[in-house]
Chain A
Amino acid sequence: MASVSTTTAGADWEYAPAPESREIVTIRPEYGLFTGGEFAAPLSGKHFTTLNPASEEPLASVAEAGEADVDRAVASARKAYDQAWGRMPGRERAKYLYRIARAIQERAREFAVLESLDNGKPIKESRDVDIPLAAAHFFYHAGWADKLGYAGFGPDPRPLGVAGQVIPWNFPLLMAAWKLAPALATGNTCVLKPAETTPLTALLLAEVIQEAELPPGTVNIITGDGSAGAGLVGHPGVNKIAFTGSTEVGKEIQAAVAGTGKKLTLELGGKAANVVFDDAPLDQAVEGIVNGIFFNQGHVCCAGSRLLLAEPIADAVLDRLKQRLATLRLGDPLDKNTDIGAINSRQQLDKIEGLVAAGEAEGAQRWSPPCPLPARGYWFPPTVFSGVSQSHRIAREEIFGPVLSVLTFRTPEEAVAKANNTPYGLSAGVWTEKGSRILWMAQRLRAGVVWANTYNRFDPASPFGGYQESGFGREGGRAGLAAYLDA
């Protein structure tokens, strides 16, 4: 037998590559649009390419929906609403939703690998967060489908009709589940437009929906760029618009639907404060800070991108944070030990680089751990800015990348004032061992979600949504049903 050296120092223990096999998923060379229960070539005749952001290799050619394609999708959703789904009893709809949920679980590995390939996020996140939560949303809403009379919206709340749903690239499958599950549970039919850079898991979900034998047209998935989304939003045959994405586009959508009678919910950007008091559980707070801003490369609308530290512990927490960041593993998203994956697109990388340059120009101190970046693909190292003040752009604008701005405060009142001093209001975090202070803070923070001694925790039973420029309407929980009911 081979002899093994036993004198190696612990410092030499490097984890060997442990890549998840991409063989489990079959990516077709070309995808059509999913309308009326079938994949069909786009009437536009156009296609575009979706890339693997970790390598810039093309993954597949995807149909680009034009105006006629949107028409076709909305018409098939209307037909399915009128003839099948809209009149189906809730207990029957539930069966289909359970079927989808189970199929997602059964094909979880396939979904996870595909999500990491198309989005760039580490497999450990797609495997442990995105895909299980997507299944959980279908399970949760399947449970509501036959109990809507008990949800507090009257004895027999009615669906709205056809829902047009436009989703972002940061959690492609999960956002599809957030949109589709409540809409279907409440009896609406859907036209879903995934993001241009991450269409593949939605198209795999279309296969699952096909296999679950939903009435044709109940769910239609049309891929394309912003113009397809705008076409869907402006389509007169749509009764309800749900959008998750940037505040900029959200404002355009709100202007477009004004006066049309379409019901609208928007889940937009954020610039969340993560507030650490001097009596916080320090090690777990550091984990929460890391999870708050470096989870999914910071491509999270509720990311804890502004860290507010109590001054007495500011230096100590920063030191500990830097030590911790030095242990993060950046690289191949399919490696099971990767903590930080690729930035989703060249466009997003440019935006991050631009804001980081602005941060340096405004005098904040930039720091990143020693972190070699792969030669190909879109990458950005975990970055911390200290010495940030409220007036800096990096403290006000959403970066949507792995960049943390660190500010300090002296009193709880100052913490609240600084945390709320933003046009956004999606989420916030509070770290303290003092229960009464958590409640005091939660009452005053103007944010849709306040996490106490944790961050970025999601559950389908918990409503999620924002204040001010972070949007309106809630997703998840009983409150989330209201967005899809005529209540």
Chain B
Amino acid sequence: MNVDAPTGAAGIVAAGVTGTGVTGATAAGTGVVGSDAALRQILHGLPGVDQVGAHERAASLATRSIKRDAKLWALDMAVRMVDLTTLEGADTPGKVRGLCAKARQPDPDDPSVPPVAAVCVYPDLVSLARGELAGSGVAVASVATAFPSGRASLAVKLADVADALNAGADEVDMVIDRGAFLAGRYAQVYEEVRAVREACGPTHLKVILETAELATLDNTLRAAWLAMLAGADFIKTSTGKVTPAATPPVALVMLSAVRDFAEATGRRVGVKVAGGIRTAKDAIRYLVLVREIAGPQWLTPEAFRIGASSLLNDLLMQRRKQITGAYAGPDYFTLD
């Protein structure tokens, strides 16, 4: 889709894109002049983010009170948005099998609980997960590109991606090179994402910004745009290996970025928040951010995901409380 008629606030951004020699930020982001200087002009031409204001807005949306039917809807939706994740050095086939069983049927006592969106593992465990999840509709997501640090050559990163794809991954979660980004080598970051995008073909690509290492919300916004221009299907907050991982202000900035990008290009990019989201209350707060910042059209597992592990049981516990009116103890929910 061409951006020759920018309108609205996104038009400012789109004008920045066209004004620097980018002729039509297409769905795959082709046509962007990939020099550091050109990208710098685009990214630093984005409106700034006032940190105090962003934190205030996130805090004010956190006071939304979600009750009754609205809460039940949100809990179910949150379950469907979970990327059930294990990314440990100690991961074993047994651990992954358990996780897959949980993903297919989160609550064995209540078949009305929907399955989660995906299981997220390291590339060497993809084929195992693939087999365990066959026919379930639950996707297999694999981290790749020298996750979590991203400190490897492009060739190694692409080999990592190829491994995941060959093993049958439906979704690839790549990390950007934060060092290159912080050094201003935007073209390198851009080219890496582009290369992985091409390698992935139709496979769903999530780009992890690792916002804790980018430090500022301005950087978060710029990295989000860089990833979207390079063809990301999703932008994702964190690896979960650096604290703070996902935070409401970071999610707020990323959600406004995908909203503006969609306005400028017509392409809806998804957002994944990952790391540190352990309670149903937190998850619902993120759904409120999605609804009020990006818009209701992002309230679907195709456009919003939550990377988590222990969150799932809290969602189930709150869900059962919402339906039965009483809390069941943690021993009534399976630990996998």
Q: Give the segment of A9-17, A96-104, A250-258 that binds chain B.
A: A9-17
Q: Give the segment of A28-36, A53-61, A280-288, A460-468 that binds chain B.
A: A280-288
Q: Give the segment of B65-73, B150-158, B178-186, B189-197 that binds chain A.
A: B65-73
Indicate if the CB atoms of A319 and B9 lie closer than 8 Å: yes
Indicate if the CB atoms of B80 and A6 lie closer than 8 Å: yes
> Is B47 engaged at the interface, CB distance under 8 Å to the other chain?
yes
> Is B91 engaged at the interface, CB distance under 8 Å to the other chain?
no
B201–chain A nearest beta-carbon distance, Å? 28
| Given A18-B67, A453-B53, residue A282 in contact with residue B47 (CB < 8 A) | yes
Indicate if the CB atoms of B65 and A18 lie closer than 8 Å: yes
Indicate if the CB atoms of B12 and A282 lie closer than 8 Å: yes
For residues 277 through 320 of chain A, which have their beta carbon under 8 Å from a beta carbon of chain B?
A: 279-284, 287-288, 313, 315-317, 319-320
Indicate if the CB atoms of A337 and B65 lie closer than 8 Å: yes
Indicate if the CB atoms of B8 and A316 lie closer than 8 Å: yes
State which of A11, A18, A279, A317 has its C-beta within 8 Å of the C-beta of B9. Answer: A317
Given A1-B323, A6-B80, A282-B12, 7 more A-B residue pairs with CB atoms under 8 Å apart are A10-B290, A13-B77, A279-B47, A284-B54, A319-B8, A320-B9, A454-B53
Indicate if the CB atoms of B48 and A13 lie closer than 8 Å: no
Cα distance, A467 to B59, chains bound together (Å): 33
Indicate if the CB atoms of A8 and B296 lie closer than 8 Å: no
State which of B49, B52, B69, B73 has its C-beta within 8 Å of the C-beta of A283. Answer: B49
Give per-residue flags for A4-48: 1 if the beta carbon is below 8 A from chain B beta carbons, else 0: 101011111111111000000000000000000000000000000
Indicate if the CB atoms of A1 and B110 lie closer than 8 Å: yes
Chain A residue at minimal CB-CB distance from B110? A1
Number of A positions contacting B (CB below 8 A): 39
> Which residues from chain A contact B290 at a C-beta distance below 8 Å?
10
Indicate if the CB atoms of B112 and A1 lie closer than 8 Å: yes
> Which residues from chain A contact B48 at a C-beta distance below 8 Å?
279-281, 433
Indicate if the CB atoms of B72 and A14 lie closer than 8 Å: no
> Nearest 5 pairs between A and B by C-beta?
A10-B299, A284-B53, A18-B65, A319-B8, A281-B50
> Is A128 engaged at the interface, CB distance under 8 Å to the other chain?
yes
Indicate if the CB atoms of B53 and A287 lie closer than 8 Å: yes
> Which residues from chain A contact B296 at a C-beta distance below 8 Å?
9-11, 13
> Which residues from chain A contact B11 at a C-beta distance below 8 Å?
315-316
Cα distance, A128 to B62, chains bound together (Å): 12
> Is A2 engaged at the interface, CB distance under 8 Å to the other chain?
yes
> Which residues from chain A contact B271 at a C-beta distance below 8 Å?
none
> Is A227 engaged at the interface, CB distance under 8 Å to the other chain?
no
> Is B114 engaged at the interface, CB distance under 8 Å to the other chain?
yes
Chain B residue at minimal CB-CB distance from A431? B50
> Which residues from chain A contact B54 at a C-beta distance below 8 Å?
283-284
| Given A124-B63, A281-B50, A320-B9, residue A6 in contact with residue B114 (CB < 8 A) | yes
> Which residues from chain B contact A9 at a C-beta distance below 8 Å?
296, 299-300
> Which residues from chain A contact B80 at a C-beta distance below 8 Å?
6
Give per-residue flags for B75-88: 1 if the beta carbon is below 8 A from chain A beta carbons, else 0: 01100100000000
A281–chain B nearest beta-carbon distance, Å? 4
B19–chain A nearest beta-carbon distance, Å? 13
Indicate if the CB atoms of A313 and B73 lie closer than 8 Å: no
> Is B297 engaged at the interface, CB distance under 8 Å to the other chain?
yes
> Which residues from chain A contact B63 at a C-beta distance below 8 Å?
124, 128, 336
Chain B residue at minimal CB-CB distance from A433? B48
Chain B residue at minimal CB-CB distance from A327? B292
Indicate if the CB atoms of A453 and B52 lie closer than 8 Å: yes
A253–chain B nearest beta-carbon distance, Å? 36
> Is A260 engaged at the interface, CB distance under 8 Å to the other chain?
no
Indicate if the CB atoms of B9 and A16 lie closer than 8 Å: no
Cα distance, A184 to B65, chains bound together (Å): 38
> Which residues from chain A contact B12 at a C-beta distance below 8 Å?
282, 313, 316
> Which residues from chain A contact B49 at a C-beta distance below 8 Å?
281, 283-284
Cα distance, A279 to B76, chains bound together (Å): 41
State which of A8, A128, A316, A337 has its C-beta within 8 Å of the C-beta of B64. Answer: A337
> Is A3 engaged at the interface, CB distance under 8 Å to the other chain?
yes
Chain B residue at minimal CB-CB distance from A290? B57
Indicate if the CB atoms of A8 and B73 lie closer than 8 Å: yes
> Which residues from chain B contact A16 at a C-beta distance below 8 Å?
66-71
> Which residues from chain B contact A14 at a C-beta distance below 8 Å?
70
Chain A residue at minimal CB-CB distance from B57? A287
Q: Can you report 24 residue pairs joining A to B where beta carbons are below 8 Å apart?
A: A1-B320, A4-B72, A4-B73, A8-B73, A9-B296, A10-B290, A10-B291, A12-B73, A13-B70, A13-B299, A16-B66, A16-B68, A17-B67, A18-B65, A281-B48, A287-B56, A316-B12, A317-B9, A323-B8, A327-B292, A336-B64, A337-B64, A453-B53, A454-B56
Indicate if the CB atoms of B64 and A15 lie closer than 8 Å: yes
B81–chain A nearest beta-carbon distance, Å? 11
Indicate if the CB atoms of B112 and A283 lie closer than 8 Å: no
Cα distance, A16 to B68, chains bound together (Å): 7
> Which residues from chain B contact A13 at a C-beta distance below 8 Å?
70, 73-74, 77, 287, 291, 296, 299
> Is B298 engaged at the interface, CB distance under 8 Å to the other chain?
yes
- Among A283, A315, A319, A320, the most chain B Cβ lie within 10 Å of the Cβ of A283
State which of A15, A128, A282, A287 has its C-beta within 8 Å of the C-beta of B66. Answer: A15
Cα distance, A280 to B64, chains bound together (Å): 28
> Which residues from chain B contact A279 at a C-beta distance below 8 Å?
47-48
Cα distance, A402 to B53, chains bound together (Å): 21
Cα distance, A10 to B289, chains bound together (Å): 13
- Among B53, B80, B291, the most chain A Cβ lie within 10 Å of the Cβ of B53
For residues 280 through 324 of chain B, which have their beta carbon under 8 Å from a beta carbon of chain A?
A: 287, 290-292, 296-300, 320, 323-324
